[in-house]
């Protein structure tokens, strides 16, 4: 299936200035987007199904935002709750909420991926149309591509090999379908993020697990022989691209956001060892279903449309994540061990 890279249009867009909705605010990327918007003086309505004050992760990720009078947190489930009040009065919606992760998406947990990622996105799009929202920025994923032997371009065939990837592609295509409706003014920019890392990264993700292994001496599991390659993208670059996507003049665009280089897992282990000055103990396991041998992003369109180019390389990004990790609360650290 080929995605429309850019179906440009006449959205005659003006930059974000007023009030926006961010979904997935208690999570890794969403909380960083919130902090960056608040720092620009923008009013942020933050939607997540994790409730501030009752969820340790939400409290930690949103500690600064919760103290900011420009931030209004809402505890809602995209798949089941009424969304109109959350969306009302917002020019832009940054849609980052989703059930992430490839491995748990096989089997019975797929129900939540379908509900949160597909149905939740469709319900949010419907609410955006009813409220006259101008722009939705959607957090898509490199996992929509499937196996590739060269840097992926947005027009390449999409062929996800995990139920998670299928759910992200389905939601991305819903976004495109809504943006193509002639009877509404909603425009969409979908960003295909390539493996994001940095402070607050989810504990199931590779870089955090490598750093955790370095500091604790507990082995990290390496799936396969370590030759699989990933394009790692630092969080501040992702946030910059996400905010830029709210400001470009386009009716419908699908854009890769990567870190600028693809690194083997062996290379990432070596880098983590250099950054921490410690040995990384490794235990090898079979390649997992849904894991592709390589991800790499062609960033031509990101540069042209968003003026995007990554600014933080793997060594610097890992050093920043490492500095965050060593100061982490005990609760948060135990999540890496599970
Ligand atoms: N982290 C990455 O490397 C990466 C790569 C590609 C794409 N993405 C996409 O970026 C987005 C953010 O990823 P993340 O790593 O920050 O994940 P995360 O799990 O840290 O954050 C997602 C948040 O969404 C919330 N959420 C999930 N389902 C919900 C629902 N039904 N209603 C309300 N809230 C709900 C969760 O509670 C969570 O706080 C996701 O859409 C993910 O698919 C992430």
pLDDT digits (tens, 9 = 90+) for 28-38: 999 999 999 99
Q: How far does residue 276's CA lie from ligand 1's centre (Å)?
A: 28
In a domain, 313, yes or no: yes
- Given a cut of 80, is residue 187 above it in pLDDT? yes
Q: How far does residue 10's CA lie from ligand 1's centre (Å)?
A: 30
Average pLDDT over residues 54-65: 95
Rounded Cα distance, 64 and 97, in Å: 20
> Residue 88 burial (CB < 10 Å; 0-12/13-18/19+)?
middle
For ligand 1, mutation pick of 97, 113, 199, 257 (most atoms within 8 Å of CB): 97
Average pLDDT over residues 146-172: 97
- Given a cut of 70, is residue 208 above it in pLDDT? yes
In a domain, 90, yes or no: yes
Ligand 1, atom 20, lies closest to the CA of: 27
Ligand 1, atom 43, lies closest to the CA of: 100
Ligand 1 neighbourhood includes 120 CB (under 6 angstroms): yes
Per-residue confidence band for 337, with pLDDT thresholds at 50, 70 and 90? low
Q: Is 164 a catalytic residue?
A: yes
In a domain, 8, yes or no: no
Average pLDDT over residues 232-238: 98
Ligand 1 neighbourhood includes 139 CB (under 6 angstroms): yes
In a domain, 116, yes or no: yes
In a domain, 4, yes or no: no
Average pLDDT over residues 223-239: 97
Bridge partners (DSSP) listed for residue 138: 95, 190
- Could you please report the per-residue DSSP string of 134-175? -EEEEEEEGGGT-S-SS-B-TTSBP---SHHHHHHHHHHHHH
- Given a cut of 70, is residue 336 above it in pLDDT? no
Rounded Cα distance, 128 and 130, in Å: 5
Average pLDDT over residues 262-272: 97
- Given a cut of 80, is residue 16 above it in pLDDT? no
CA angle 15, 19, 25 (to 5 degrees): 105
Q: Determine the pLDDT at residue 12.
A: 45
Ligand 1 neighbourhood includes 259 CB (under 6 angstroms): no
Q: How far does residue 105's CA lie from ligand 1's centre (Å)?
A: 13
Ligand 1 neighbourhood includes 275 CB (under 6 angstroms): no
Ligand 1 neighbourhood includes 28 CB (under 6 angstroms): yes
55 phi/psi in degrees, rounded to 5: -140, 115
- Given a cut of 60, is residue 14 above it in pLDDT? no
In a domain, 219, yes or no: yes
Instruction: Say which range, 5-19, 33-47, 254-268, 302-316, has the weakest mean pLDDT.
Output: 5-19
**CB 253 within 8 Å of CB 226:** no
Domain span at residue 27 reads 17-337
- Whichever domain contains 55, its CATH number is 3.40.50.720
Whether the pTM exceeds 0.85: the reply is yes
Ligand 1, atom 21, lies closest to the CA of: 27
Share of the chain above pLDDT 70, in %: 93
Ligand 1 neighbourhood includes 59 CB (under 6 angstroms): no
- Given a cut of 90, is residue 10 above it in pLDDT? no
For ligand 1, mutation pick of 22, 23, 27 (most atoms within 8 Å of CB): 27
- Given a cut of 60, is residue 232 above it in pLDDT? yes
Ligand 1 neighbourhood includes 123 CB (under 6 angstroms): no
Ligand 1, atom 28, lies closest to the CA of: 98
State the average pLDDT for the chain: 93
Q: How far does residue 116's CA lie from ligand 1's centre (Å)?
A: 10
- Counted domains in the chain: 1
- Given a cut of 70, is residue 7 above it in pLDDT? no
- Given a cut of 70, is residue 13 above it in pLDDT? no
Ligand 1 neighbourhood includes 73 CB (under 6 angstroms): no
Query: Counting atoms of ligand 1 from 1, which one is nearest the CA of 78?
Result: 32
CB under 8 Å to 110, separation ≥6 — which residues? 163, 167
- Given a cut of 90, is residue 331 above it in pLDDT? no
Per-residue confidence band for 225, with pLDDT thresholds at 50, 70 and 90? very high
298 phi/psi in degrees, rounded to 5: -85, 120
Q: How far does residue 304's CA lie from ligand 1's centre (Å)?
A: 27
Average pLDDT over residues 98-105: 96
In a domain, 1, yes or no: no
In a domain, 297, yes or no: yes
Q: How far does residue 277's CA lie from ligand 1's centre (Å)?
A: 32
Q: Determine the pLDDT at residue 17.
A: 57
Q: Determine the pLDDT at residue 338.
A: 65
Ligand 1 neighbourhood includes 94 CB (under 6 angstroms): no
Active-site residue, selected from the candidate residues 113, 138, 164, 308: 164
């Amino acid at each position: 299936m080929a995605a429309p890279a850019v179906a440009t249009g006449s959205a005659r867009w003006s930059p974000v200035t007023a009030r926006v909705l961010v979904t997935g605010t208690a999570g890794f990327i969403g909380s960083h987007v919130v902090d960056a918007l608040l720092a620009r003086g923008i009013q942020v309505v933050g939607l997540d199904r994790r409730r501030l004050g009752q969820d340790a992760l939400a409290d930690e990720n949103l500690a600064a935002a919760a103290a900011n009078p420009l931030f209004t947190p809402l505890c809602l489930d995209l798949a089941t709750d009424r969304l109109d009040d959350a969306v009302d009065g917002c020019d832009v919606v940054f849609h980052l909420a989703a059930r992430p992760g490839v491995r748990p998406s096989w089997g019975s947990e797929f129900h939540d991926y379908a509900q949160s990622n597909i149905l939740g996105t469709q319900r949010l799009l419907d609410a955006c149309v009813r409220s006259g929202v101008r722009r939705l920025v959607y957090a898509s994923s490199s996992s929509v591509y499937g196996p590739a032997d060269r840097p992926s371009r947005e027009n390449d065939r999409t062929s996800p090999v995990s139920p998670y990837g299928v759910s992200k592609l389905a939601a991305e295509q819903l976004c495109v379908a809504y943006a193509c409706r002639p009877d509404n003014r909603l425009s969409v920019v979908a960003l295909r993020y390539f493996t994001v890392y940095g402070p607050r990264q989810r504990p199931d993700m590779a870089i955090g697990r490598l750093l955790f292994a370095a500091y604790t001496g507990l082995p990290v599991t390496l799936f396969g022989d370590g030759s699989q390659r990933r394009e790692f993208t630092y969080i501040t670059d992702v946030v910059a691209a996400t905010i830029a996507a709210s400001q470009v003049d386009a009716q419908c665009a699908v854009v890769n956001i990567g870190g600028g280089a693809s690194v083997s897992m062996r290379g990432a282990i070596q880098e983590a060892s250099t950054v921490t000055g410690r040995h990384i103990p490794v235990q090898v396991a079979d390649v997992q279903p849904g894991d592709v041998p390589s991800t790499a992003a062609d960033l031509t369109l990101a540069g042209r449309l968003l003026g995007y180019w990554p600014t933080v390389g793997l060594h610097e990004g890992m050093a920043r994540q490492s500095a965050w990790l060593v100061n982490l609360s005990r609760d948060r650290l135990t999540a890496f061990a599970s």
